[in-house]
Structure 1
Amino acid sequence: MQDITVIILTFNEEKHIKRCVESLQAFTDKIFIVDSGSTDKTVEIAEALGAKVVQNTWVNYAVQFNFGIVNNPFKTKWLMRMDADEYVLPALAAEINQKLATFSDETSGLYIKRRVIFMDKWIRHGAYYPIWLLRIWRNGQGACEESWMDEHITLTQGNTKQLENDLVDHNLNNLTWWTQKHNLYAIREVIDLLNIKYNFRNFESVEPKFFGTQEQRTRFLKVKYASVPLFLRPIFYFIYRYFVRFGFLDGKQGFIWHFLQGFWYRFLVDAKVYEVYHRAGKEKSAIVQFFKDEYQKDLSK
């Protein structure tokens, strides 16, 4: 067993948690789950597999994950971030076993490639693979960025390296669940995009930088995306992903994925941005009040 704790946030993940935990047990027995009031068998399954589970009221992803970092009962050298609907491939588990103890003290974080499976299809094209994510870092040298959407782990020191093998994102819920979840995501995405313009609150965030790390480049592109006119940007983005980056090679499942995730979702975000401007105007204070009234969200926190 490696000297690493895996932190997982859960809410009603009985379809996924067994698969996730069992994939991790190939290299660690220290699995810490922060649950936010699951009403299914998530906690029962996780505890039966030996995971340590605590309850904490949900505020947002960053607050919940940083709670997990601070309250981690395992005093390990390394921490790892996983979502419940993800799992580690055997090759990645073997690589972690082989390499983790060999990194020098100057190495503070490890990037891992994520592959997305949608309707049992690996989405290889459309600029969706490989996506490099900082998922392993030294305890005490990283925290979750407190943005509203696309939260990244930020390091306080040290350099990073890349592992060769993949983890897999494969959600087993149906398409109705997926669209409902992305409708909720869209509200957070609206706040994140508007924050680029209005700066509702200051927080330590990833520096936008095209020739930087994956998350720096992602943030740079998001800032540029926010400057493109409403409703044109999802059209351009879909054309880029599906045609320029060969998303059409992913077949029927790929068409559904790239259209829904690359166009429909982002068009929905723009429609919600338009609704904010239509109902509240473009004054910062009025927008802040709109989100308090409509969504009970305080944009200053």
Structure 2
Amino acid sequence: MQLASQQFYLIFRYLYHMDKLSAVIITLNEERNIRRCIESLIGVADEVIVLDSLSTDTTKAICSEYDFVRFEERKWEGYSSSKNFANSLSSFSYIFSIDADEAVSTELKTAILHEKNQGFSGIYTVNRKTNYCGTWIHHSGWYPDYKVRIFPKDQTKWVGEYVHEELEFSAPFQEKLLSGDLHHYSYYDYTDHRTRADKYSLLTARKMNARGKKAGIFKPYLSALGRFISMYLIKRGFLDGYAGWKIATISAQSNIFKYKELRRLNKKDA
């Protein structure tokens, strides 16, 4: 009788996709990264949903090489809108949200498969480790870097559009940290870092201005100094070598840019 009940439960879980996992990725011109990401998901995800914002490189061609990848195209409408739409395309009840420039490590893969075999429940946090211009970063405020990435499709949505979107849950879930790292291949050169950091700073300045935030004349430089000291000294970025120096320096420079832009927007509104 007990064996029959267990078999019924297993069949029930299979039919209702309780132990299957949909990996969801949003892309735009990710030919440099997307193959590594997809390959790392083999054996982990039961399907991969790629929502592409009309790439002009070979992203689509690379994705078409994998029969378990569903490639969809849609005009860019913001981070949260794109991720929520991509989630809606998934077939299974649990989603693994992963960026194109990320890859599942061997240890993390083992941890995910263990939970998958036990039956997913609650939400799962991963520890993201960044490869910066060829160097793995272990300090500088970049590691550990905890992110909720595996979660139930229902009662979950992405919110926020300006810089960093966040997950919002309509019900309380127990959170579990998975062992292993999610490898993040962030920047291939320092120019790329500075360009993207300034982009985020610009978006943040607009967000702050919309919320009525103000910046005094000395704010850009005091903020930059504080950021450098925090990342390089307090968060031990110096232990990351030259990469740690560049991370702290570029972050400080972008802080100057952010608050100068906020001051410009303040004056424009005035």
State the TM bucket, normalised to the shorter chain: 0.7 to 0.9
Distance (whole Å) between structure 2 residues aligned to residue 172 and residue 263 of structure 1 = 17
* Larger CA deviation: 36-45 vs 46-55: 46-55
Which residue is 1:127 aligned to?
Answer: 141
Alignment of 1:58-207 (within 5 A): 58-70=76-88, 72=89, 74-103=90-119, 107-157=121-171, 158-171=173-186, 173-197=188-212
Distance (whole Å) between structure 2 residues aligned to residue 38 and residue 77 of structure 1 = 28
Q: Which protein shows a greater Rg?
A: 2
1:245 aligns with 2:259: no
1:276 aligns with 2:268: no
User: Residues 141 and 236 of structure 1: is their aligned pair in 2 closer, same or farther, counting only changes over 3 Å?
Assistant: same
Offset, 1:172: 5.6
Alignment of 1:190-229 (within 5 A): 190-197=205-212, 229=219
TM-score (norm 1): 0.77
Q: Give the unaligned 5+ runs of structure 2.
A: 1-16
Determine which of 210, 231, 234 is the counterpart of 2:224.
234
Contact 2:209 2:266 (8 Å CA) reproduced: no
Which residue is 1:33 aligned to?
Answer: 50
Counterpart AA for 1:42: T
Distance (whole Å) between structure 2 residues aligned to residue 160 and residue 25 of structure 1 = 25
Q: Deviations over 1:228-265 (max 9, x none)?
A: 944322211211111112111100112112211x3122
Contact 1:190 1:273 (8 Å CA) reproduced: yes
Offset, 1:98: 1.1
Q: Give the unaligned 5+ runs of structure 1.
A: 199-224, 282-301
Distance (whole Å) between structure 1 residues aligned to residue 126 and residue 245 of structure 2 = 26
Q: Deviations over 1:69-128 (max 9, x none)?
A: 22x1x3212101111111110111111111234256xx4211100011101111111222
Distance (whole Å) between structure 1 residues aligned to residue 187 and residue 224 of structure 2 = 26
Distance (whole Å) between structure 2 residues aligned to residue 175 and residue 246 of structure 1 = 20
Secondary structure in 1 aligned to 2:206? helix
Counterpart AA for 1:49: Y
Contact 1:109 1:155 (8 Å CA) reproduced: no
Counterpart AA for 1:269: K
Offset, 1:277: 1.7
Moved over 4 A (4+): none
User: Residues 48 and 33 of structure 1: is their aligned pair in 2 closer, same or farther, counting only changes over 3 Å?
Assistant: same
Determine which of 23, 29, 54 is the counterpart of 1:6.
23
Q: Deviations over 1:19-38 (max 9, x none)?
A: 00000113123000010010
User: Residues 63 and 28 of structure 1: is their aligned pair in 2 closer, same or farther, counting only changes over 3 Å?
Assistant: same
Counterpart AA for 1:61: Y
Contact 1:6 1:79 (8 Å CA) reproduced: yes
Distance (whole Å) between structure 2 residues aligned to residue 173 and residue 165 of structure 1 = 23
Distance (whole Å) between structure 2 residues aligned to residue 130 and residue 197 of structure 1 = 32
Contact 1:108 1:141 (8 Å CA) reproduced: no
Contact 1:63 1:146 (8 Å CA) reproduced: no
Contact 2:130 2:137 (8 Å CA) reproduced: yes
Contact 1:147 1:192 (8 Å CA) reproduced: no
Distance (whole Å) between structure 2 residues aligned to residue 52 and residue 258 of structure 1 = 39
Which residue is 2:60 aligned to?
Answer: 43
Secondary structure in 2 aligned to 1:128? coil
Counterpart AA for 1:231: Y
Which residue is 1:213 aligned to?
Answer: none
Distance (whole Å) between structure 1 residues aligned to residue 127 and residue 61 of structure 2 = 30
